[in-house]
Structure 1
Amino acid sequence: MTRLGLHHDLSFCRADGRLIFLDIRNDRYFRLADDLQTAFLEHMDGRQAPDGQLRRLVQQNILVEGPDRPGHPTEVSVTRPTRSAIEGPGAESGQRRSTSDPVAVLDTFAAVCSTQLQLRTRPLQGILARLVSLRIRRAAHAITSDADASRALDAAATFRAARPFVPVQTCCLVDSIAMVRFLAKRGIHADLVFGVAGQPFAAHCWVQHRDIVLNDSVGHVSAHTPIRVV
């Protein structure tokens, strides 16, 4: 049986009463017109949406046909952050990092510069797919023990300490993808979280392990609603 479901390159969240979509294939965020948003929500809730609006959603590649596709996609779910590696007790590990480690500086330089180049020349979809592939090969399992969480904190602190030596302007997307790559190469699993705010619109991303934000403050990331987790 063929059903309509959300295109796999799209994700969405509710922010300030409106739906916001992230399209990783076309590198864009967007909202729907009021009538299409209503039809989208009706369809996802299993109600009968007007055929005309459904056709428009299909034409815009928001809804796609597929065998036994679930009618209602799960909105993004990620552990609510309660700690930050750069503030409070979690910041202590950062004080132990040395910027004299040439390997860490070189690895950070390579991760940041290659990520910046990829974002300039490739679609986000492909970059994220490669990131997932790297993490599967090098850090297949999420960290669960306190000892491994400490490793994640130390490795993230190493990246942050080396980052000022890279002559590339800081950017949440570049730095977060680069940090996930840096951690994965050390066998450490971390999530890349995309978030948005509704009014005014703002997009952000950060690196998170369980309830710990590794490269931002809890207050800042909590002002954004997660829209995609990689």
Structure 2
Amino acid sequence: MTTPLRALSFCVIEDTALFLDLARDRYFRLPESANAAFLASLVNGVAFAPALQSAGLDQFVSLAPLRAQGGNIHTRECADLRGCHFSPYLIARSLWEQRATERRLAKRGMHTVLSELQSALRGQQANRPLGDNGAALVKAFEDSALVRSAVDRCLPRSVALARLLARSGYSCQVIMGVKLRPFAAHCWVQAGHLVLNESVEEAARYTPILVL
């Protein structure tokens, strides 16, 4: 049985805790004193109820314990797509899935959409390593940017790609990451150590805050 996706996740960058509140579709950080109290209350990177209470996050106490994200994801290389052909059919399929994902995010919110995605990614059928057919799907998403800009669409594009891969039986992870100065958030898909829809260099600039 899949563990329900919790509405709060966090990571720590340069002694600063950054949070992702999925229910409200927002990232936030704590005031300096609350941040210090929160970090001091962590136990081996895990926030139990007292840590959340010390930071004034009483509304999230029921979600404890929460483990800090960020330390177990490695971006080593990109998937090799050189052998994949240009496929109008797969491009059209990827564009349809991207638009459908954007509509679901707008209507149902990030928490619901990502909870559904987590269930799909952890399903028994989504366990094959990326092969030629999976790589062809990744290539189609790359080529679809020629038709519809990928700028500021990393979340729906990544969710859509992961859904299609899982539906075809391929295992992958969706990773949401953040950086601190200046603050920015990003999302990409990995299959093991292979980054599928981003460069290794760009993905490495971000610390994972949520891994599906």
- For the aligned pair, the TM-score class normalised by the smaller chain equals 0.7 to 0.9
How many angstroms apart in 1 are the aligned matches of 2:144 and 2:32? 47
Q: Residue in 2 aligned with 1:81?
A: 75
**2:30–2:55 contact (8 Å) kept in structure 1:** no
Q: What is the RMSD computed on CA atoms of the aligned residues?
A: 2.7
Structure 1 residues 99, 8: closer, same or farther in 2, change over 3 A?
closer
Q: CA deviation at 1:122?
A: 1.8
What is the match of residue 180 of structure 2?
198
**Alignment match, 1:117:** 103
CA distance in 1, matches of 2:107, 2:75: 32
Instruction: Give the CA deviation at 1:209.
Output: 0.8
Distance in 2 (CA, whole Å) between partners of 1:19 and 1:55 is: 13
Residues 136/14 of structure 1: CA separation in 2 closer, same or farther (3 Å cut): closer
Q: Which has the larger radius of gyration?
A: 1
Q: Give 1:139-150 correspondences, 5 Å limit.
A: 139-141=125-127, 143=129, 148-150=130-132
User: Normalising by the residue count of structure 2, what TM-score does the alignment of the two structures yield?
Assistant: 0.81
> Secondary structure of 1:13's match?
strand
Unmatched runs of 5 consecutive residues or more in structure 1: 1-6
Q: State, as a whole percentage, how many aligned pairs show the same letter.
A: 27
Q: Is the 8 Å Cα contact of residues 175 and 190 (structure 2) preserved in structure 1?
A: yes
Residue 133 of structure 1 is aligned with which of 101, 119, 127? 119
Contact 2:78 2:200 survives alignment (8 Å): yes
Inter-CA distance 65–38: structure 2 relative to 1 (3 Å threshold): same
**Structure 1 residue 45 displacement after superposition:** 2.7
Query: Equivalent residue for 1:4?
Result: none
Q: How many equivalent pairs are there? A: 201
Structure 1 segment 140-179 matched on structure 2, within 5 A: 140-141=126-127, 143=129, 148-165=130-147, 167=148, 170=151, 171-179=153-161
Give the match for residue 47 of structure 2.
Answer: none
8 Å CA contact 1:108–1:178 kept in 2: the answer is yes
What are the Cα deviations for residues 7-55 of structure 1, in whole angstroms up to 9, with x where unaligned? Answer: 9311111223311111111110000111211221222238xxxx8x836
Deviation for aligned residue 1:123: 1.4
Cα contact 2:10–2:209 (8 A) shared by 1: yes
1:99 paired residue number:
87
Q: How does 1:203-214 map to 2 (within 5 A)?
A: 203-214=185-196
